[in-house]
Structure 1
């Protein structure tokens, strides 16, 4: 059977975001059309993903990609997959609670805040994002959320958490949450240490639209999730997997119940999964493969460095060179940065080019726009 697919414009004002809840509930229950969340900055996405064509009646949500690596495609999420993700998250965190939405519901990380609230029958609190993410708006919303009885949760990306940690009132509010799910990008080691020292319970998560949000919390898969490594590549199996893609003609990464990701990982000695970057981002310099995330971790461990991104740039002799964009205040000596990388990741990983930037270019919820960065560094 077929089901209508309808675009769901995602607003930024709290009252308008809360008004989406009945429509989301109907989509999950099968009483309304399947939904494709979009913002007013994506006028072409509904047509690209074919809102004029129906989807299978199992599908409740179609989550569009940024399209940064080609034509946009959409992850097809069934109601069962979405609910499985939400329930597994609550089981891991200690039960349902009041959620604060502090990111756009256009992306699965923000959308799941609303869905978890629906399943818990708790109205979420929504931060005002009309003028973008601001610490004062987050703090106001956080104080309102913390007044509710029971447990309290929110979801952030590392750049948001870094900004909030620098504001005393926001930091005090952060301490009130039972858990802060951190997704969208890797959590820098320096940030992890800062939140631990400050008494903030931030839990790094790993997942994507294809897994209906995070499915691995602090290196440990959620209940019902299986992880295997195939030549270092992360494969995922579980009830929250998407049914596949819309508007995708390539070889499907969904095979025999497994989702073959484009990410590399390794098992730590304590049995936790460590994600070390995307396969496409690995830098081959002089015949040695370098994982950018390991270099970024070494850089952000240096005092003063708040963010870093490492990419490979073409080079006639080496094939590629390691290039780093660093956000720091005050700026450390470049020799100190290179020595930190040499000690942590080896000689081949030492950046041959380091450039200091006021901020990293972002694409989507906390993800660095590596293509834009390559152009800026090249």
Structure 2
């Protein structure tokens, strides 16, 4: 990871991470690639027009949007006409849930969610309850995996929507999404596959999964915050939540965030270039994980499930995870005590609870998530520091 980035266009020097720090919280957000920053900078300079305008500046902005739309579509194997730009994953999920509900068939009112869905999915579904929705939660096993049989028992002729994420953000468990989509289709319902954590880390093919809705967030794949999209399968309903000028084919009004979307498109292009890196990242993850197990007594969750290649979610018995994160930060190693969406509330993690992790152990849960730029040296040094600080934390607690 570069310490500083110099914009070729503006000549500005942008501070990044000090060279002696190690960022291992890529599941929370990823540092923007210098080429993404350059794409944003370029869009601000030359694609500043309103994309809805017919003159040259507007055309330049519109062409920038189309290039980004094409890149996002290529990354997940859909047509560019199936891409609706949003402000990120949360808005994309809200649009999917709202659309499915508003276009539901007669007698359909059940929404089925896996127990480990992101809060954006859970809260969007709960928000439908006052309108008569029946929200049903499908449990997961100790590995954090949905059992297709359990899901099938809950999906039927009254089901509107089924939501099963592709990969969990806390423990990295990759779900049987294609099986879930097939169960959903047989019931005549719509399928939402939250791929926000997966895109850019593993290959994702929306059509192979069978997703009607598939959200993506730029900041999870080395892009900027405030940009993302919802992939909407041709024929799936999409009902705008925001009224106005009818941008995005009438599906998402409001002048588009051209610089952010330009950066998103570049991030998608770069993610395609990195395809095949999963094995290299997994090897580094495995080496780090083995040291934590051997020397710090880490109990890795979802260890025997297919996982994102960059993710370690583990319990360090006797270690206050929040305090450990603070101490590690002071030494230049950045990890998290669970999902960023649960910052300060790790003991309340619904994912860990669903997996049967005891409440006391949830307070000892640490997530380490590597990135494309994590080196062998980074992983080795981080492991040594985590082991050392975990031992100190236990010693303090034992006093």
For Structure 1 versus Structure 2, the TM-score category normalised by the shorter chain is: 0.3 to 0.5
| TM-score of the superposed pair, with normalisation by structure 1 | 0.37
| TM-score of the superposed pair, with normalisation by structure 2 | 0.35
**Between Structure 1 and Structure 2, which shows a larger proportion of strand residues?**
1
Higher relative contact order (CA 8 A, sep 6+): 2
Larger radius of gyration: 2
